[in-house]
């Protein structure tokens, strides 16, 4: 059995990590604090529906109401749990420090909240916010989630990412210097990228001492710039088999201590154009497990 798993997984699962760290079931409560994004001024990333965090709470409700509604729903499955407040929607450091403090600490004051996970961008953490995050990290279990998507500059320009690889690397180094946990988002299947390109992204991340990763499959949503680009260029969309093959190889290059927070996506059916195989999330997860077992490979076995 893989060292960092308590089931049949051959990679380091988030469930295993939380259970070891906190001693019992711990789950994220996804929140929408109404934050915008600095990249919207140039149209945003081409894949973005401008509704990042589609599964977060209702932005019309205050954070306390959002939290309790989602917590109650989750507790139907998992009772007597700890919670991580997950600021998911938008860029969750893109506001004055006083606003951030109010929102973060509203959630931290809820009983049994043991940490915060804050999704943001490497170009949206000002120095005063960075200093505050360092203080916050001493009071609770803090994770900063940074979107990267790809290390390749040509791809970052194509998807209108709005920041460079250098900016991302510098941000990761600054966060790690302050002992803050860093989770990185990447996307497989971005237009014109090869399997080797996607593996190179993981190889570089493995040199940055990151703590976790979220691996997504590119999906085309209605009413996005990506939809228009796809209709015009008809770039290749990875098949399920191609995606599974790439993920299996990426995992082999990741340090086994890196926690896998996500290994596929789950878009809303009514918004999805391609690929439709993503709607069967658990089939994808099971097929990754089967393929790793078939090849007799594990996370980190090439590091």
How does pLDDT run across 156-205, given as a tens digit for each residue? 999 999 999 999 999 999 999 999 999 999 999 999 999 999 999 999 99
In a domain, 199, yes or no: yes
In a domain, 89, yes or no: yes
**28 close to 214: Cβ distance less than 8 angstroms:** no
Classify 81 as helix, strand or coil.
Answer: coil
In a domain, 3, yes or no: no
Alpha helices in 27-139 (DSSP H): 63-75, 97-108, 127-139
In a domain, 271, yes or no: yes
C-alpha 226, offset from chain centre: 20
Domain that holds residue 79: 14-295
Q: Is the pLDDT of residue 54 over 70?
A: no
Strand partners, 31: 87
pLDDT in tens, 238-266: 999 999 999 999 999 999 999 999 999 88
Strand partners, 205: none
Q: pTM above the 0.75 mark? A: yes
Q: Per mean pLDDT, which range of 1-5, 52-56, 94-98, 110-114 is the poorest?
A: 52-56
In a domain, 23, yes or no: yes
| CA dist list (Å): 93 to 19, 108, 118, 175 | 28, 16, 8, 14
In a domain, 77, yes or no: yes
In a domain, 32, yes or no: yes
- The number of distinct structural domains making up the chain is 1
| CA dist list (Å): 230 to 190, 222, 235, 267 | 11, 11, 6, 17
In a domain, 179, yes or no: yes
CATH number, domain of 198, equals 3.20.20.70
When computed from its CA atoms, the radius of gyration of the chain, rounded to whole angstroms, is 19
pLDDT band (50, 70, 90) for residue 51: low
CA distance 248 to 221: 25
pLDDT in tens, 56-82: 778 889 999 999 998 888 888 888 899
């Amino acid at each position: 059995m893989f060292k960092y798993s308590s089931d049949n997984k051959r990679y380091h699962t988030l469930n295993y990590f939380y259970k070891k760290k906190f001693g019992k079931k711990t789950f994220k409560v996804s929140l929408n604090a109404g934050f915008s994004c600095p990249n919207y001024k140039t149209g945003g990333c081409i894949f973005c529906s401008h509704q990042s965090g589609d599964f977060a709470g209702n932005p019309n409700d205050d954070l306390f109401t959002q939290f309790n509604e989602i917590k109650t729903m989750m507790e139907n499955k998992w009772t007597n749990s700890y919670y991580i407040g997950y600021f998911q929607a938008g860029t969750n450091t893109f506001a004055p420090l006083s606003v951030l403090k109010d929102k973060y600490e509203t959630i931290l004051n809820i009983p049994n909240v043991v940490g915060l996970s804050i999704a943001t961008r490497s170009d949206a953490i000002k120095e005063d916010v960075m200093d505050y995050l360092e203080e916050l990290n001493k009071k609770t279990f803090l994770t900063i989630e940074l979107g990267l998507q790809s290390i390749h500059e040509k791809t970052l320009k194509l998807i209108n990412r709005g920041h460079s690889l250098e900016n991302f690397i510098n941000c990761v180094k600054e966060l790690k210097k302050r002992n803050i946990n860093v989770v990185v988002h990447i996307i497989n299947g971005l237009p014109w990228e090869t399997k080797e390109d996607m593996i190179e992204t993981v190889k570089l991340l493995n040199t940055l001492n990151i703590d976790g990763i979220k691996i997504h499959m590119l999906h085309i949503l209605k009413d996005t710039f990506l939809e228009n680009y796809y209709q015009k260029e008809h770039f290749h969309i990875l098949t399920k088999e191609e995606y599974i093959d790439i993920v299996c190889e990426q995992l082999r290059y990741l340090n086994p201590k890196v926690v896998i927070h996500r290994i596929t996506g789950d878009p809303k059916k009514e918004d999805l154009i391609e690929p439709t195989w993503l709607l069967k999330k658990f089939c994808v997860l099971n097929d990754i497990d089967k393929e790793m077992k078939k090849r007799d490979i594990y996370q980190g076995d090439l590091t």
